[in-house]
Amino acid sequence: MLIGRYFKNLNPKFKNHYFSGLTFNSKLCKKNSIFFAVRGTNQNGNKFINEAVKRGARTIVSDKKFQGFKKEVLYLRYQNVRKLLAETAYRVFSKKPKNLTAVTGTNGKSSIANFYFQILKLNKKKVASIGTLGIQTNTKNIAGSNTTLDPVQLGLKLKKLKEKNIDNVILEASSHGLKQNRLDGLDFKTGIFTNLSHDHLDYHKNFSDYLNSKLYLFNKLLKKKSKVITDISIPEFKKIKKISKKRKLNLKTILNNKSTISLISHRYLGEKQLIKIKYKNLIYSFSLKLIGKIQIKNILMAMLAAESNSLKFKKIVNKINEIKSVNGRLEKIGKIKNNSIVILDYAHTPDALNTCLENLKEQFADRRIAIVFGCGGDRDKFKRPNMGKIANQYCNKIYLSDDNPRTEDPKKIRSQIKRKISKSKVLEIPKREKAIDRAIKNLNSGEILIVAGKGHENIQDYGKSKRFFSDRDIILKSIKQKNKKLSKSIKLNILNEESNLNNFLISSKIKKASINSKEIKKNDIFLQLKEKKKMEIFLSVKLLKKELLLQL
């Protein structure tokens, strides 16, 4: 390949210089490679130029002053090496899917990307999603590393997807990826903005820089007439509207009566949600088999994005009731005989945790909530006490444990979280598997446990050591052990809990329970209770479905 075909504004005398590949990792350099000397957060690529040349690089792109040949190696100077790397990579890997969608924001990116993917797949469309959950296609799921891949990896993946005739792709665009120009050079047809809240301020330093990194998608990467999808109620809407008007983008919104899609009604039916919306003056009704009201927002954004794939809106609506929960996002795990629920969620920011717990409290108003969580090390330290405060506000029991401590002292992280948690609520168990197991063992009938912070992740990072660790696996193992000790009868389980006796009447067949001795018949149970205890049982019973209430 000749460099003149891929670099713009290049000195004519360099245009016929040959290259065979490109990289920003000196260790991956081969004969005739272009090495992009990127200045990273922790490393300066200029320090590795000599190594790159020794490994065969014949072109060096850096921000150093020198430009020209040295010993047959061409040195090119560019101010923004990262941007040039991305633009060059996407020119080299020129075959790309036609319909690219990018979703950015603090929370909800993975859910929207996955719902978009599911909608298209259910409607027999070839589709792929790329992000935190890896790369998903109709036939294969591949685990990923970063939310937004580097341009060389991403360019190669998009080329392979195109070769499989996949033209519909949705990408998660992280603030890091946008600020580092990883997506410059791609042609996006749709951009989605979810929300903005406290996160990644260890990298961005201030909230303004964090917001501007997100808005880069709309300011720079979307072309005229591209579609913008967002929530009309968020504080950032005014800025997005202004950008859309200035750049002549097609703005679509959700939720209120002035939106493209307005929410007419919503109600809960146990773990389901019944929804009625208005779109283009038509009313549509559907049910969601998903926990959490926040899922409505994610679903509606995914529906608007999916419509750009020549899908009729009615066909999209008809498939919504088949949508499944996203891996580690308000996902119910397993089934416990006493009707308690364990939910796995990736919430690792104050806003995400607050939304998660607020949603659970709204949907399951009379149930007690427990939580297992911690905070990651080497990340934003200021959010830790706030997350403790939020857990304290909504939860009756808090199992404080390790997340990914990385190189920080785990005990110090936990102590920062504990500052705003009531001592009576918190139980500190450093080993996460023990914390999860204890929390599940302690779940009484109808109670809810949320295991938050790591979601889909299967690695726990202690800095010098990383080990395989899956919240999901631990949850399922603990549920299996718990179910062995539970009866199939909800009534017996409640009696065991309230009596504080193990295996109490576990093999008995109870027809009725009563505190009135005159009503007792064969196979009934008589409860002799003090008034206080009677009230405790009554309150516990209220948590169960009406048809399962113990008759007192």
For the stretch 213-272, pLDDT in tens is 999 999 999 999 999 999 999 999 999 999 999 999 999 999 999 999 999 999 999 999
Cβ neighbors of 32 (< 8 A, separation 6 or more) are 18, 19, 20, 21, 56, 57, 58
- What is the side-by-side order of every strand in the sheet holding 33-36? 21-23, 33-36, 59-62, 73-77, 68-70
Residue 498's pLDDT band, with cuts at 50, 70 and 90, is confident
Q: Residue 412's Cα: distance from chain center in Å?
A: 26
What amino acid is encoded at 467 in this protein?
R
pLDDT at 142 over 50: yes
Give the pLDDT score at 116.
98
**pTM assigned to the model:** 0.89
Give the pLDDT score at 525.
64
Give the pLDDT score at 308.
81
pLDDT at 351 over 80: yes
Give the mean pLDDT of 89-114. Answer: 96
Residue 10's pLDDT band, with cuts at 50, 70 and 90, is very high
Residue 538's pLDDT band, with cuts at 50, 70 and 90, is very low
Cβ neighbors of 190 (< 8 A, separation 6 or more) are 99, 100, 101, 102, 226, 227, 228, 229, 305, 308
Helix (H, G, I), strand (E, B) or coil at 267: strand
Question: 368-377, 460-469, 473-482, 512-521: lowest mean pLDDT where?
Answer: 512-521
pLDDT at 399 over 80: yes
Give the pLDDT score at 40.
84
Helix (H, G, I), strand (E, B) or coil at 69: strand
Give the pLDDT score at 209.
87
Give the pLDDT score at 524.
66
pLDDT at 511 over 70: no
Give the pLDDT score at 494.
80
Q: Give the separation between CA 183 and CA 332, rounded to whole angstroms.
A: 34
pLDDT at 438 over 50: yes
Question: 177-181, 188-192, 332-336, 548-552: lowest mean pLDDT where?
Answer: 548-552
pLDDT at 550 over 70: no
Q: Which letter, b or e, does each residue of 491-516 get, where b requires 16 or more Cβ atoms within 10 Å of its Cβ?
A: bbbbbbbbeeeeeebeeeeeeebeee
Q: Give the separation between CA 135 and CA 210, rounded to whole angstroms.
A: 26
- Residue 97's region, left for phi above 0, alpha for psi from -120 to 50, else beta, is beta
Strand partners of residue 467: 460
Residue 500's pLDDT band, with cuts at 50, 70 and 90, is low
Q: Give the separation between CA 509 and CA 358, rounded to whole angstroms.
A: 39
pLDDT at 491 over 80: no
Q: Tell me the percentage of the chain whose pLDDT exceeds 70.
A: 90
List the domains of the chain with CATH numbers: 3-85 (3.40.1390.10), 93-322 (3.40.1190.10), 331-484 (3.90.190.20), 490-548 (no CATH)
Give the pLDDT score at 188.
97
Residue 331's pLDDT band, with cuts at 50, 70 and 90, is very high
Residue 26's pLDDT band, with cuts at 50, 70 and 90, is very high
Q: Which letter, b or e, does each residue of 70-83 get, where b requires 16 or more Cβ atoms within 10 Å of its Cβ?
A: eeebbbbebeebbb
Residue 506's pLDDT band, with cuts at 50, 70 and 90, is very low
Residue 201's pLDDT band, with cuts at 50, 70 and 90, is low
